[in-house]
Amino acid sequence: MVARAHDCEPVNSASCRRWLHHLARLSLALVFLSAGISKLSDIPQFAGRIGDFGIIYDSLVVPAAWIFSILEVLLGVGLALRVRGSLAAALALLGIFIGVLAYGIYLGLDIECGCFGPGFHVNIRTQLIIDLGLVGWCGLVYWSQRQ
């Protein structure tokens, strides 16, 4: 089905909110999927970024890299397939990421977080802003599904 301009009038109509919900949910799913897959493509690099924060024991850095990467892929799939609880789990994971980034900023670390895998070079301050934006995006998905 192709959306036409008149399908979304007025702006708060159920049809427009439905389209907005699908677009927001699927694009958020794509963000989590691409981040997780990108990290899985270079686990040692992502594990190194986790280790840079000094929060967990060195022996747990590689397992944590695997767990976070797989979680992101599963959340992406869950969001795409509308699995109940996926949005709440995505918010919880973002909360962890935001907490770690804020802690790194508090410590004065000037490092890349590896949040979107190799090839995406962003410092932790910028990534904190991105993650806060993703929290807002989750809010948009939640708001748009409540019809």
Q: What is the pTM of this model?
A: 0.86
Task: Give the pLDDT confidence of 45-55 residue by residue, as tens digits.
Answer: 999 999 999 99
Q: Does position 120 have pLDDT exceeding 90, yes or no?
A: no
Structure confidence at residue 34 as a pLDDT band (50, 70, 90): very high
Mean of pLDDT values over 115-135: 91
DSSP code per residue over 50-90: HHHTT-S-HHHHHHHHHHHHHHHHHHHHHHHTT-TTHHHHH
Cα torsion 129, 112, 114, 85 to 10°: value is -30
Q: Does position 9 have pLDDT exceeding 60, yes or no?
A: no
Q: Does position 14 have pLDDT exceeding 80, yes or no?
A: no
Task: Give the pLDDT confidence of 52-103 residue by residue, as tens digits.
Answer: 999 999 999 999 999 999 999 999 999 999 999 999 999 999 999 999 999 9
- Classify 108 as helix, strand or coil: coil
